[in-house]
Structure 1
Amino acid sequence: MTVGIDPGHNGRNHTDPAFLARQVWNGREQEDCNTTGTATDDGYPESRFNFAVARFLATELRRHGARVVMTRSNDDGLGPCVDRRARIINRAHADVAIDIHADGGPASGRGFAILQPVPSGVNDAVIGPSRRYARLLRDSFVRSGMPVSTYLGDNGLTTRDDLAGLNLTTVPQLLIECGNMRNAEDAALLTSAAFQRRAAHRIAVAMTEFLGKQ
């Protein structure tokens, strides 16, 4: 099986605002090429968290025989733009894919949420499988130690129609906000290597269960 992993943002995105501001087609409208992502109150960047989880996830999946395709190979570069990330995963003909993120929500809010695609014309054939995958991922991730979001979605699930990765995908794909970097309790987990490993494992479990049911 081939698995696509998109660790959101990149470690040097903040160094080139003009690059980030380039407009790309996200499946419904023009949007910025990319963003810097959020950070904890003490400055731990989202891109670093995303890439750490992605590496742990890739290692686990490869150990079980999967072919892994990642949209970036380090956390010391720019981009790529969100439309190119979608193309990388689509061209790999991934059997399942995940966009890894952490949110910058209200400081009083806690927890993870899974963002599901809305039909865009491009992604119509994978809406049903993505929704089934979302329920499996939600049920797996509750065992990571991160609670379900108190401020985003309904019981850990929501939809988004403004994200290139979800609008342009031709494979079953989701975006997970693994927690809220602006909440002190969540931040303590998100910056922990032990939690990052657990997060990667719970994503791998959901992917394996999804692929087994396909």
Structure 2
Amino acid sequence: MSYVGPDFDPPRPRRTRRAPLTVALAALVPGALLGWVVYDAVGGGSGGGSGQAGPVASSASSAPSAAVSSSPSDAARSASPSSSEDGKGPAATQSDGVPAGSGSLKGKVVVIDPGHNPGNFRHTSEINRQVDIGTNSKECDTTGTSTNAGYAEARFTLDVAHRLRAILQKEGATVKLTHDDGSPAWGPCVNERARIGNTARADAAISIHADGSAPGNRGFHVIMPGSVHAGAADTRAIVGPSRELGERIAGDFVRVTGEPPSNYLGGGTGLVTRTDLGGLNLSTVPKVFIECGNMRDSKDAALLTSGAWRQKAAQGISEGIVSFLRES
């Protein structure tokens, strides 16, 4: 989520306590990070040094602009749930909330939150209004970021959400999206996104994003809720299961996609804990965010704009969710 807006203040790089998180992730998915080490050794994961400056514009972008969402025709294409955008992944054919099969996830509910909305740039006054996130107030939503060539984050997140939905429905899960097919025309606000997961009594919820950091900063990271008990926010009951969900997704994401853990956040673990995101603070169900890569880095942008890679991203996320739900 290339954020500096509604739900995301630019995070500061974390350089301490690397060992515990690394050990936790490696213990959870024994082969995943080892596989990344091999991948990196042969040159697949190079790109940007560790410890560089933090994001320039993370997915809660500060000042929404029409340029981020490209054009109205782009927004219309990205909102369509009936195709995979480039034909390289499965089209979403089931309605939200309708299981597509009787697999191992039958009876489980998953809520997918595609970060931002392709129509946000047309509704700047609406998305800029303040909403309560428990600890303080933030903007309702933002436009998100884009690649240097203009591929909007909102298009990316919706496409990955469609692919992820199709996979999970085949596993038997009931899947709900927070928005789809241009409905609503903007948003929903970050507090409403959390409420949708809560109302559905989701067994797992995930918000999909792509970052807008500086060139050379690359890799994915999974954002997990910290312990918050203030105002309308109380995450104490979901901190533990959300961490487990996040660790499983991170391990499978690196294994399936080959995308390295972030070199600018999380100390090389791909895991970050936040207490300033309304989508997490207001959740009462296990929930994480994933920043799939940095849209402003040329190497990551080449992946994020590839339909084949987006299918891998959806597969990696789904395997983490399936693993978590089978154990819950």
TM category (shorter chain) comes to over 0.9
Counterpart of 2:254, as a letter, is V
Larger radius of gyration: 2
Residues 31-46 of structure 1 aligned to structure 2 (within 5 Å): 31-46=138-153
How far did 1:183 drift? 0.2
2:190 is equivalent to residue 54 of structure 1: no
2:239 is equivalent to residue 127 of structure 1: yes
Give the corresponding residue for 1:84: 192
* CA distance, structure 2, for counterparts of residue 208 and residue 106 of structure 1: 33
Give the corresponding residue for 2:262: 149
Q: Deviations over 1:109-168 (max 9, x none)?
A: 110001010112322101001111111111101021211111122211111111111101
Long gaps (5+) in structure 2: 1-107
Q: Pick the structure with more strand per residue.
A: 1
* CA distance, structure 2, for counterparts of residue 153 and residue 90 of structure 1: 28
How far did 1:75 drift? 5.2
Long gaps (5+) in structure 1: none
SS at match of 2:238: helix
Query: What TM-score, normalized to structure 1?
Result: 0.97
Counterpart of 1:66, as a letter, is A
Give the corresponding residue for 2:252: 140
Counterpart of 2:191, as a letter, is D
Q: Pick the structure with more helix per residue.
A: 1
- Structure 1 contact 51–75 (Cα < 8 Å) conserved: no
Query: What TM-score, normalized to structure 2?
Result: 0.64
Runs of 4 or more above 3 Å deviation: none
Residues 165-204 of structure 1 aligned to structure 2 (within 5 Å): 165-204=279-318
Counterpart of 2:266, as a letter, is G
* CA distance, structure 2, for counterparts of residue 150 and residue 75 of structure 1: 34
- Structure 1 contact 48–75 (Cα < 8 Å) conserved: no
* CA distance, structure 1, for counterparts of residue 235 and residue 274 of structure 2: 13
Query: Identity of aligned pairs, percent?
Result: 47
SS at match of 1:35: coil
- Structure 1 contact 33–81 (Cα < 8 Å) conserved: yes
After alignment, is 68-77 or 201-210 more displaced? 68-77
Give the corresponding residue for 2:116: 9
How far did 1:207 drift? 0.5
After alignment, is 166-175 or 145-154 more displaced? 145-154
Counterpart of 1:109, as a letter, is N
Give the number of aligned pairs.
214
- Structure 1 contact 110–180 (Cα < 8 Å) conserved: yes
